Amino acid sequence: MNLLEVSNVSKTYGSGEAAVKALKKVSFSVPKGEYVAIVGESGSGKSTLLNMIGALDTPTSGKVVISGKEIFSMNDRKLTIFRRRNIGFIFQAFNLIPELTVEQNIVFPMLLDYQKPDRKYLEELLSVLNLKERRNHLPSQLSGGQQQRVAIGRALFTRPALILADEPTGNLDSQNTSEVIALLKEASKKYEQTIIMITHSRSIAQTADRILQVSDGELTDLGRCRE
């Protein structure tokens, strides 16, 4: 069963002569638990596509269905709750809350959903992310790699079906990049989560189950690359 179905999604910015077609009738689907990498040049439309999937932006036409639900038919309130429970975000710039500790940053989305954080799962995540020793540290006291691991923890904590990562290793050195990618893969496997990741790096893309390429607003499926 497909977790994500993107059908004929187009996005045009501006109108008339100034119109820019960022996405042109893009369609693809992703089954549950798959780890997908999206590659493409700068300005090719890959971030726009990720924003559409994450319901951060609305398409000019087409539809996006996640777990059988068409996300753009929901009102803002429902969409927020849906996003909160079903989609986890990982940003290139980490975007952690500087005032909160590692542990507090990870459980924060759960608090937004008025749920009591699952302590056992938190311990497990901290262990997987290798952050146990750093649980009471503030983001400013962490390295870039550690901060991104916290961001991954935050994205995983609500057990979302879909994790969207926009160049999660863009700000990291090669060692941290390897660690983060390994973590994402492990999570995808262990928790059966679908991961869609934007990357510029061909080598990182090679670690994914499947690679999609966006070029000039059009999507090409480069197929499976993992054994």
Partner 1 sequence: MKSYLSLVSISGKVRKRQNRMTIFCVIISVLLVTTIFSVADMWIRASSEGLQQKHGNWHIRLENISQDTAEEISRHPDVAAIGWSETFNTDGDQPFYIGEKKAALYGVDSIYLAELVNALEEGALPQGDNDVMLSSNARLALDVKIGDHVTVKTPSGDTDFTVCGFGSDDAEYYQGQTYMVAVYMMRDAYISIMEQNHIPINPSCYIQFQDVSKASDITSEIRQQYNLPEGDISENTAIMGLAGQSSNESMKNIYGIAAVLFVIVLLAGVLMISGSMNSNVAQRTKFFGMMRCIGASRQQIIRYVRLEALNWCKTAVPVGVVTGTAIEWGICAFLRYGIGGEFATMPVFALSPVGLISGATVGIVTVLLAAQSPAKRASKVPPMAAVSGNSDTVLSVRHTTKRKIRKVERTLGIHHATASKKNWFLLTASFSLSIILFLCISVGLDFAYELMPSVNRSWQPDITLTGYANERVLDQGLSDAISRITGVELVWGSSYTEHVPAVSSQQEIDHVNITSYSEYMLDCEDESLVQGNISEIYGDSGKVMTVLDKDNPIKVGDTIQVAGQEIEVVCGISSGLYPGEYSIICSQETFARLTGEENYSMIGIQLSRQATDETVKQINSLAGSNVIFTDERQRNQEDANSWLAAKFLLYSFMAIIAMITLFNIINSISMSVTARIKQYGAMRAVGMDGEQLTRMIAAEAFTYAVSGLIVGSGIGIVLSRFLYVKLVTRYFGSQWSLPVVLLAIIVVFDTVSAAAAVYAPAKRIRNMPITATINEL
Residues that bind partner 1 (CB under 8 A): 47, 50-51, 54, 56-57, 76-77, 80-81, 83-85, 88-89, 91, 93, 95, 97-100, 104, 107-109, 111-114, 154, 158, 166
Tokens (6 digits) for 73: 């038919």
Q: List, as one string, the DSSP characters of 64-117.
A: EEETTEEGGGS-HHHHHHHHHHHEEEE-TT----TTS-HHHHHHHHHHHTT---
Closest distance to partner 1 from the beta carbon of 137 (Å)? 14
Tokens 């069963």: give the residue: 1
Taking the C-alpha atoms of residue 48 and residue 58, their distance in angstroms, rounded to an integer, is 10
Taking the C-alpha atoms of residue 20 and residue 85, their distance in angstroms, rounded to an integer, is 33
Q: Which is nearer to partner 1, 53 or 209 (CB)?
A: 53
Q: Which is nearer to partner 1, 166 or 209 (CB)?
A: 166
Closest distance to partner 1 from the beta carbon of 224 (Å)? 27
Q: Which is nearer to partner 1, 106 or 128 (CB)?
A: 106
Q: Which is nearer to partner 1, 91 or 121 (CB)?
A: 91
Closest distance to partner 1 from the beta carbon of 223 (Å)? 27
Taking the C-alpha atoms of residue 19 and residue 22, their distance in angstroms, rounded to an integer, is 9
Closest distance to partner 1 from the beta carbon of 140 (Å)? 10
